[in-house]
Amino acid sequence: MNDTPFPPFPAPGERLSPCHGSPDTIALLTRRRSATAITMAAPGPSPEQRNHLLGIAARVPDHGKLAPWRFIVFEGAARAEFGDILANAFTDTTPDATAEQISFEAERLTRAPLVIAVVSCVTERHKVPEWEQILSAGAVCQNLLIAASAMGFGAQWLTEWYAFDHQVKAALALKSGERIAGFVYIGSVTDQPVERARPSARIDHWSPAMSRIGG
Domain spans in the chain, listed from the N-terminal domain onward:
34-75+109-190
pTM: 0.92
What does the pLDDT look like over 37-79, one tens digit per residue?
999 999 999 999 999 999 999 999 999 999 999 999 999 999 9
Average pLDDT over residues 89-100: 96
List, for residues 157-210, the tens digit of each pLDDT value. 999 999 999 999 999 999 988 999 999 999 999 999 999 999 999 999 988 888
In whole angstroms, what is the distance from residue 142 CA to residue 131 CA?
A: 17
Cβ atoms within 10 Å, residue 117: 21
DSSP state of 110: G
Secondary structure of residue 190 in the 3-state scheme = coil
**CATH, range 34-75+109-190:** 3.40.109.10
Q: What is the Cα–Cα distance from 70 to 54, expressed in whole angstroms?
A: 10
pLDDT higher than 60, residue 130: yes
Q: Decide: 183 and 115 in contact? Cβ < 8 Å.
A: yes
